[in-house]
């Protein structure tokens, strides 16, 4: 039996252990997003990654560790690492349109660039998988807190109508998430509505502000 080494020869050269781990992780994300968690086995992940199942377990002790690694991997991306970094100056300046436009545009761009992760989250939610809870607790709650606090501040300033801030956040998120789901699942050719992410974000921000800004 030929022992699989942590450094492997490939057509492009030698793949290090970290590179192999990342390759397996990306293959797993792709399969999970297509088939769900219960519908994907470690054998299928190994086959798609062109390694043995033992190699998968060498890098990930079990499927649960693999799920955690998916969030860790996504958390290292620019958009997940600090989703509010671009909003700090806008919130300080009380730039209402800038806050909501930037938040919507960043989300829409991420959905366009990484539709597989959006599908993955849908699968995990439908299967009541821990990954959905982990993502909700590590990201979604932060979005509610950040935007909710900003809305409360602007209500105290007398700029926004008195509406439950979390209801405003939910309405806002609902607009761009539904838009992305339409493009990802039901209307991939965008026959119903073809619009750039910039234009969509602008319209969503304007619709929200028209509803909550005091006249």
Q: All domains of the chain, ordered by start, with CATH?
A: 8-72 (1.10.10.60), 77-212 (1.10.357)
pLDDT the model gives residue 166? 95
At what angle are helices 96-113 and 197-212 packed, to 10 degrees? 140
Annotate 8-47 with DSSP letters as a single string. Answer: EEETTEEEPHHHHHHHHHHHHHHHHHHH-STT--HHHHHH
pLDDT the model gives residue 189? 87
pLDDT the model gives residue 200? 96
> Phi/psi at 158 (nearest 5 deg)?
85, 10
What pTM value is reported for the model? 0.67
Report, as ranges of residue numbers, the positions in the chain whose pLDDT lies below 70. 1-14, 71-72, 74-83, 123, 129-132, 134-135, 138
HSE-up (13 A, CA, CB side) for residue 202? 5
């Amino acid at each position: 039996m030929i022992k699989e080494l942590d450094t492997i020869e490939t057509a492009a050269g030698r793949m290090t252990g970290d590179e192999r781990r990342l390759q397996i992780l990306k293959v797993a994300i792709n399969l999970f997003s297509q088939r769900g968690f219960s519908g994907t086995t470690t054998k299928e992940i190994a086959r798609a990654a062109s390694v043995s199942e033992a190699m998968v377990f060498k890098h990930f002790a079990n499927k649960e560790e693999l799920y955690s690694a998916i969030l860790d991997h996504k958390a290292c991306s620019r958009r997940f690492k600090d989703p509010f970094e671009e909003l700090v100056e806008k919130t300080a300046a009380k730039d209402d349109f800038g806050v909501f436009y930037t938040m919507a545009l960043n989300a829409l761009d991420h959905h366009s660039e990484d539709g597989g992760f959006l599908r993955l989250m849908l699968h995990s939610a439908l299967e009541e998988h821990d990954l959905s809870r982990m993502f909700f607790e590590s990201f979604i709650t932060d979005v509610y807190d950040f935007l909710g606090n900003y809305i409360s501040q602007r209500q105290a300033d007398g700029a926004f109508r008195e509406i439950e801030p979390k209801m405003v956040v939910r309405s806002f998120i609902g607009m761009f998430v539904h838009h992305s789901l339409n493009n990802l699942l039901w209307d991939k050719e965008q026959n119903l509505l073809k619009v750039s992410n910039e234009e969509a974000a602008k319209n969503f921000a304007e619709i929200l502000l028209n509803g909550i800004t005091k006249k």
